[in-house]
Each structure stands twice: as structure tokens, then as C-alpha cells.
Amino acid sequence: MDQERLLHVIRKLAIQAGERIMEIYNSDDFEVRTKSDESPVTEADESADRLISAGLRDAFPDVALVTEEQAASHRHSGDTFFIVDPLDGTKEFVRRRGDFTVNIAWVEGGTPRRGVVYAPARRRMFLTLADGSSVEETGPFDPEQIGATTPLRVAQADNAALRVVASKSHRDAETDAYIARYEVGDVKSAGSSLKFCLVASGEADLYPRLGRTMEWDTAAGHAVLAGAGGQVLRFDDLAPLSYGKDGFANPFFIACAPSVRLEES
């Protein structure tokens, strides 16, 4: 895989999908439907999915592609593929709260190696470069050329005052009970895969997820965090979270800086 070309393609598609999403987000109204799993879907999800899928299939026709909006048709087997959530945080989109992202990742050997997380309403973009390191791009988000970037690196955690980030839409009593095991200095809420990026940027130390997620929800953020020196571990045995699982469902997991002293499940 040509890593420079890979970066160019997924970044460009994320920006183009973000533009399409924002056109709908800024419109007077848009339809919201409910999928079979009771999650919401909008025209923005489907339009972004079509754009990204067409772009990836054109650029990399021999690489398998998995997307949230086409999940019912996936018959994927293997551990190397693209995985896409065209609009992660649809609930945040519907509520016009801004914490939604475009997620595109390349998984190799069951591990997310490259990814882009673009939050068009927040004007924040996080991505892995061709060498595997992660940066935040600060704009102006020209589809053809990377702008100014800031290197990302996880913080050295203060275990006597951890900074925790949790889901804005899916936080529950089990998550709160787990957080209570730590000495916490600050807890903030964020939507979508931005939680991974807050750990990657050193703005948070620990993101526990004790709830249902799918691989397309996490792969791009996982890649960004890994490129910043962070880790994503299964909650049950603290083994690295892997991808290409049957059905693409994740177990509970913990994303964190390696300096966090993790409590056993």
C-alpha cells in the first residue's frame, strides 16, 4: 500500500464528505429515520457513505471495504480492509450539537494502521501521516493539500488526578461506577470518535467504553490514538482491541495513555 496516496485519498474523501454533511446540517430541516437496530439515520449519513464508498472503490478496487450504512450486505472475511463510519455521532448531528465526525480507517493485520477523524462542525481534523504518526490539522482543509499540523502525543497521566472523557449520548451507571474506581481530577463529555482524539491530543487521559460499539465507530479514532502513543484495550483482559471480528461488534474497551494505572475489570 502506497502510504502517501492512502493518506491523500482518505483525507480528501473525509473533507468532501464533511462538506456534504454540513450542507444538510445547515439546512432548515432534514428527515430522520430509524434503522433496524433502533439507531437513527439521515440523508447526511447515506450521502456521505455513497461519496466515500465510491472514492475508495475507485482508488483501491482490490481492498475490501466495510461501511456502517452497508453493513447488512457485508460478507467480509479477513483482517485487512477499509472501514468507514460516514457520520459518527448521528444523535449529535440530529440534535445539532456539533460533536459528529467522518471516520475513515485502514486496517491491516487486524490493527487500525491509518485513519482520519474529521469533525466538520468543530473544524477539527485528526489523522495519521504516512509514517504512522498522528497530527491535528489546523486548516484551512484544502482537499488537495495538507495545511498546518500539530503533532499529537498522549499526556503523561497524573494518576492522582486523571482526566476522563466519556460518551455524551451513551454514558450509564456502569461507566460511572468504573470511573469511580480512579482518582479523577476532571470528567468531560464528548460525542463520536472525538473521545479518542482528546486522549491522543493530551486533553484527556482515559476513555472507558462499557457499551455497544461497532468497529466502524472506533477504527479511525483507534488509529489516531495509536499514532499518538496511546492504546485501546479490551475491558475484560486488557488485550489489544482487534478488528475483522465476526459481525464487526466490539467488546467493552478502554482507550488511554499507557501511563494510566488501569483498574482490573
Quote the CA–CA distance of 254 and 262 in Å, as a whole number.
9
User: Which residues are 66's β-sheet partners?
Assistant: 83
Asked if residue 206 belongs to a known ligand binding site, the reply is no
Give CA angle at 35 (29, 37), nearest 5°. 140
- State the cell numbers at 22: 454540513
Count CB neighbours of 219 within 10 A. 34
Alpha carbons 86 and 104: distance in angstroms, whole number: 8
Task: Tell me the C-alpha distance between 84 and 68, whole Å.
Answer: 7
For residue 217, say whether it is annotated as part of any ligand binding site: yes
Q: Is 87 annotated as a binding residue?
A: yes
Query: Cell 457485508 identifies what position?
Result: 74
Which residue in this structure is represented by grid cell 459518527? 88
Could you list the residues known to form a binding site, using ranges.
Answer: 68, 85, 87-90, 217
Could you list the residues known to form a binding site for Mg(2+), using ranges.
Answer: 68, 85, 87-88, 217
Could you list the residues known to form a binding site for substrate, using ranges.
Answer: 68, 87-90, 217
